[in-house]
Amino acid sequence: MKKILLIGCGNIGFRHLQALCASQLAGQIGLTIIEPNTAHHSRITAELGRTPVQLSEVLTALPQQADHFDLAIIATNADVRRRVFDGLVSKHTFAAIIFEKVLFQRIEDLDAVEAQLQGIAAHVNCGRRGFAGYQMLRDTLSFDTPVDYTVVGTQYALASNAIHFLDIAACINQSPLISLDASGLDQSGGDSKRAGYIEIYGTLKGTLENGATVSLTCTPADALLLDISIAGAALTGKIDEAAGTVTVTRGDVTQTLAFETRHVSGMPYLYETLLNGEGCLLPTYAESAAQHRLLLSAINTHLNLPDQSDTLCPIS
């Protein structure tokens, strides 16, 4: 039996639940769910009632009796995630863990948690690495790096989702992000759809170790729009995630290929390989924490907040 602890099951956490229920290992999963909002409990039990996953219990707080889990998933908002993690490790042990993003709001939390994850298979849910389309690009473009990655769009929640695009640019290039420039961000912003957090607009630019660049531009609008392009020494390309296509041009030859994308709920293999000790397509905690440090520092600077490890960056 694979013992799994899912902490937070209201929104994105419910997508993790759906993925676990769709897993080939579903009949071998014993699941404990922590969801403080009892209004979500009936939906949780209804979803589980249609699957062979064995539900241990749905609780409103972490169990006090010490236990060991094969996998823990922390799908809370960023503002409480450090407190939840501390409560988890104070009582329980686990072989692997998946964190939702944005990881934490303070750089000191990134550092403190990383120090406690030695020997644990820790990953962060930047799920584009799990898309077959991006895996194909990574393998196809490996001989043509550096490859610049550009996103221009509207209303796609740059503050919250920048880390997704920074991570996939690093994945395609197989090279780490080394700097971020927030000077192109607008001074005006707005409230996030999540209470207590902010949204930002404008352009965020980054550089990877291999010389590739990543540029993310988001402007306010009534609807979401994403225009994603790539450019290497010998090719250019346009990725349409919504249509599921990528159009690549090399010299005089242009071809349009299928580009598979999936929601979290449609990627059970991310959990299966981790539970089977076969690794995980998601970035490691160390990889993602390095990107988060640059992102938090850049946004803090943009907001004229102190560039210190304990500064709270109001994003989630």
Average pLDDT, the chain: 95
Q: How far apart are the first and last CA of the chain?
A: 33
Domain boundaries, the chain: 2-126+267-283, 132-261
Is the pLDDT confidence value at 239 over 80?
yes
The residues, ordered by sequence, that sit 6+ positions from 271 with a Cβ below 8 Å of its Cβ are 19, 20, 23, 25, 71, 98
Question: Distance from CA of residue 115 to its chain's centroid?
Answer: 20
Report residue 298's pLDDT band, with 50, 70 and 90 as the boundaries.
very high
Beta bridge partners of 166: none
Determine the pLDDT at residue 172: 95
Determine the pLDDT at residue 195: 66
Mean pLDDT, to the nearest integer, of 238-248?
97
Report residue 234's pLDDT band, with 50, 70 and 90 as the boundaries.
confident
Amino acid at 120: I
Determine the pLDDT at residue 217: 98
Put residue 172 in one of left, alpha, beta given phi > 0 → left and psi -120 to 50 → alpha.
Answer: alpha
Sheet of strand 213-219: strand arrangement: 177-185, 202-208, 213-219, 148-154, 225-231, 236-240, 245-250, 253-258
Is the pTM of the predicted complex or chain greater than 0.85? yes
Element containing residue 286 per DSSP (H, E): helix 285-302
The residues, ordered by sequence, that sit 6+ positions from 182 with a Cβ below 8 Å of its Cβ are 204, 298, 299, 301, 302
- CATH architecture of the domain 132-261 equals 2-Layer Sandwich (3.30)
Highest mean pLDDT (candidates 53-57, 140-144, 203-207): 203-207
Determine the pLDDT at residue 190: 65
Cα–Cα distance for residue pair 91/87, rounded to 1 Å? 7
State which fold the 2-126+267-283 domain adopts. Rossmann fold (3.40.50)
